[in-house]
Amino acid sequence: PRFYRAIVERSQHVVSVYEDLHALSDLVADIAQLKLFYSAVSMAHKKGEIALKQRNRFLAHVVKGAPHKFKFDSESRVATAMTEVVLKKCVKDGILTQAESARLAHKCIKANVFADYRYMSLVESVSHVSRKIEELSSRVDAVAQYAVDVNSRVDAVVRYSMDVHEELTEFKRQYRTHLKRRSTVGVVRGLISVVPFAGAALGSACDTIVDFSSVMDLVEVTAESLQVEHVTTVVDKLGDKWSEGALNKAIREQRINAPQLAVAGLIEVVRTVDGGESLREARKHMQARV
């Protein structure tokens, strides 16, 4: 797909964040790409690289184009994802008004009537285009089996954690050497690496997350749907440096399960890019609720 090719190509050149986002905005063609773009735009705004109005304009442009550009499916999965997840998130974040959301929902439902396409979930789509697709396909199948009874199988979580650890380590290496000045592209590259593993452990909960750059959303969505509580504590247990030793110790001593580890891995991608700012905000939010 053109969107993913553009991510790879643009990571090789240093241009403005605005130019990156402008180029990518016209290439978003499905729900998975929309979520990755949403995360990239949100991260750029949090880092002060674009203004709030620019964030809203980029995201509104992509969302408003969805009824015409997205391939809707006969089982209404894309229409449901748009109306029940994406549009609600856009209203919550102030990107769309309720009236705009209602009009777009109507257009999505109308487009869905004529749909006859296969829907690809976020995890399926990202796995499909990942730069390590052949390696990921076999490992994700294995991880899915781990998640079935992972709470009673610590060894399975350890094996799962090593796959996540390997992807994170490679992402961090690339981020330090190539992507640090390209944080917008960098967060997408990181998510492409980690999301397939997170999806294997989180299941359908992964599809309810729109902005993967929001630690708050990651914590709240997974806590509500999977009872994954105190995930910020899990991250704290791993220390400031995500390492194999700290990971194994935390899994065995703290009884961290696969969903908790999956969320921690996603948070680690965000922390690498934003220096931990989102995690600090999430901690304050969690403390205020206690």
Residue 146 is predicted with a pLDDT of 41
Tell me the per-residue pLDDT of 61-114, one tens digit each, with 9 for 90 and over.
999 999 999 988 878 889 999 999 999 999 999 999 999 999 999 999 988 887
Tell me the per-residue pLDDT of 246-283, one tens digit each, with 9 for 90 and over.
666 666 666 667 777 777 778 878 877 777 777 777 77
Residue 192 is predicted with a pLDDT of 76
Confidence band (pLDDT; 50, 70, 90) for 199? confident
Residue 216 is predicted with a pLDDT of 82
Cα–Cα distance, 257 to 156 (Å, whole number): 9
Residue 170: closest CA among 215, 122, 203, 130: 130
Side-chain-side CA neighbours of 23 within 13 Å: the count stands at: 18
For the chain, the average pLDDT equals 75
Q: How many CB atoms lie within 10 A of CB 198?
A: 30
Residue 17 is predicted with a pLDDT of 85
Residue 67 is predicted with a pLDDT of 94
Residue 231 is predicted with a pLDDT of 63
Buried b (16+ CB within 10 A) or exposed e, 159-181: ebbebbbbbbeebbebbeeebee
Residue 218 is predicted with a pLDDT of 82
Greatest mean pLDDT among 208-217, 259-268, 281-290 lies in: 208-217
Q: Is the pLDDT of residue 128 over 70?
A: no
**Which residues face 117 on adjacent strands?**
73
